[in-house]
């Protein structure tokens, strides 16, 4: 068989992505049809930049979701004679039912670059949004009281946040994400503290709203606690009795490091916004009504701070993706088999000048995802400012 030309490669790739296209078409038709009823999300479809950003992000989201149907080969299996194969090379040895080509070539261990890049999307998109979310909850839970109550609490928290921010990120990664650290209690105890915060966050959120109706409060707080502690036991200590939640020590280590780096920045943003909002009239009105401080923080200040926070959340997912890539690039905290984009770039680095496709495919994938997130954030910012 002859190797494929570029048009054929693109055509076959587009065909492989068929489930993604269908999902995208459905999403866009529905969203545009009902955009007036969808709030901020619907307004996104009024701005061209926001739509492009949303398209790219949704593309990668659906790719991660349908990855099993898109890949042409197992991302870990090695094809005989396909080492560093050029894009579009037919398989040297074709087994029954196997896809005939390596669409984007083979890597240094003769694995399919295309399938690895697609699977890499799943790796990245399972960690990055989740890590950004935990960072946000920590930043919010600490930033609200620091800004609202102020005083010594604020001084102390700000000092700690600045301490972490003064640490060069890369140095922190070198120190925190190492196989030796995984054997110590450091990642687990850090996770124990960091993952507890979201549980507390939701508890306080519910409690401050319903504390005047005890039976409702007890029900909701109980539900939050039951679900939160279930997830907490699995994620932080890998001790989930049902085995639903869980993270490998490798992943936990990476996760903790990324959250630790991101949370102080969120803290600073939330603190700044809180300082601004707490002088507003509706906060004074709530104080006069006799609402408790947590109610004011969680139900008066936080909803009014949502605009900048949503925008920053998009940016933060992008930044987390970059951080994860940096970790992979230095070979930190990932197994050598892992198809995530950072370590694939690192693998391809040695043969960059003779076989650039190895590193270029994951590099461009990563860039497009982050670009999509940034464009989406820009569109959201523009639309939320119009209100």
Q: Can you tell me which of 9, 127, 176, 199 binds other proteins, judged by CB under 8 A?
A: 176
- The yes or no reply on residue 364 touching other proteins (CB under 8 A) is yes
> d(Cα 151, Cα 159) in Å, to the nearest integer?
12
CB under 8 A: which stretch of 70-78, 122-130, 171-179, 202-210 binds other proteins?
171-179
Binding of residue 378 to other proteins (CB under 8 A): yes
Residue 184 touches other proteins, criterion: CB under 8 A: yes
The 10 Å Cβ neighbour count of residue 40 is: 13
- Residues 145/149/152/154 CA torsion (nearest 10 deg): 40
Contact with other proteins (CB under 8 A) among 20, 312, 342, 380 = 342
Establish if 304 lies at the interface with other proteins (CB under 8 A): no
Which residues, listed in sequence order, are joined to residue 101 by a DSSP beta bridge? 90
Residues 287-306 as b or e (16 or more Cβ within 10 Å = b): eeeebeebbbbbebbbeebe
Q: Is 306 in the site for other proteins (CB under 8 A)?
A: no
Could you tell me the smallest distance in angstroms from the CB atom of residue 53 to other proteins?
9
Residue 352 contacts other proteins per CB under 8 A: yes
Binding of residue 167 to other proteins (CB under 8 A): yes
Regarding 325 and contact with other proteins (CB under 8 A), the answer is yes
- How many Cα atoms within 13 Å fall on the side-chain side of residue 73? 31
Is 356 among the residues that bind other proteins (CB under 8 A)?
A: yes
Backbone φ and ψ of 152, nearest 5°: -65, -35
Binding site for other proteins (CB under 8 A): 49, 159, 162-163, 166-171, 174-176, 178, 180-181, 183-184, 186, 318, 322, 325-326, 329-330, 342, 345, 348-349, 352-354, 356, 359-360, 363-364, 366-367, 370-371, 373-375, 378
């Amino acid at each position: 068989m002859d190797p494929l030309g570029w048009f054929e490669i693109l055509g076959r790739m587009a065909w492989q992505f068929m489930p993604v296209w269908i999902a995208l078409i459905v999403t866009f038709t529905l969203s545009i049809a009902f955009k007036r009823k969808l709030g901020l999300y619907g307004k996104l479809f009024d701005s061209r930049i926001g739509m492009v950003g949303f398209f790219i992000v949704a593309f990668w989201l659906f790719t991660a979701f349908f990855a099993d149907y898109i890949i042409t080969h197992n991302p870990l299996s090695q094809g005989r004679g396909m080492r560093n194969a050029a894009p579009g090379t037919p398989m040297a040895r074709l087994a029954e039912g196997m896809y005939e080509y390596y669409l984007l070539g083979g890597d240094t261990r003769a694995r399919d670059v295309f399938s690895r890049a697609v699977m890499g999307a799943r790796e990245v998109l399972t960690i990055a949004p989740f890590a950004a979310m935990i960072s946000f909850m920590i930043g919010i839970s600490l930033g609200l009281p620091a800004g609202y109550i102020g005083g010594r609490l604020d001084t102390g928290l700000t000092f700690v946040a600045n301490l972490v921010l003064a640490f060069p990120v890369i140095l922190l990664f070198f120190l925190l994400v190492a196989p030796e650290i995984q054997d110590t209690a450091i990642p687990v105890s850090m996770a124990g503290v960091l993952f507890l915060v979201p549980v507390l966050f939701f508890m306080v959120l519910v409690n401050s709203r319903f504390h005047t109706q005890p039976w409702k409060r007890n029900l909701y707080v109980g539900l939050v606690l039951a679900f939160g502690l279930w997830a907490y036991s699995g994620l932080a200590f890998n001790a989930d009795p049902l085995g639903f939640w869980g993270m490998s020590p490798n992943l936990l280590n990476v996760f903790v490091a990324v959250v630790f780096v991101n949370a102080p920045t969120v803290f600073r943003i939330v603190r700044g916004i809180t300082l601004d909002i707490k002088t507003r009239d509706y906060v004074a009105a709530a104080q006069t009504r006799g609402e408790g401080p947590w109610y004011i923080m969680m139900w008066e200040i936080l909803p009014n701070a949502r605009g900048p926070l949503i925008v920053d959340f998009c940016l933060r997912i992008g930044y987390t993706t970059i951080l994860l890539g940096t970790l992979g690039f230095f070979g930190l905290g990932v197994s050598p088999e892992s198809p995530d984009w950072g370590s694939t770039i690192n693998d391809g680095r040695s043969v960059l000048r003779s076989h650039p496709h190895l590193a270029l495919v994951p590099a461009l994938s990563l860039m497009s995802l982050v670009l999509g997130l940034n464009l989406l954030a820009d569109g959201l910012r523009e639309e939320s400012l119009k209100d």
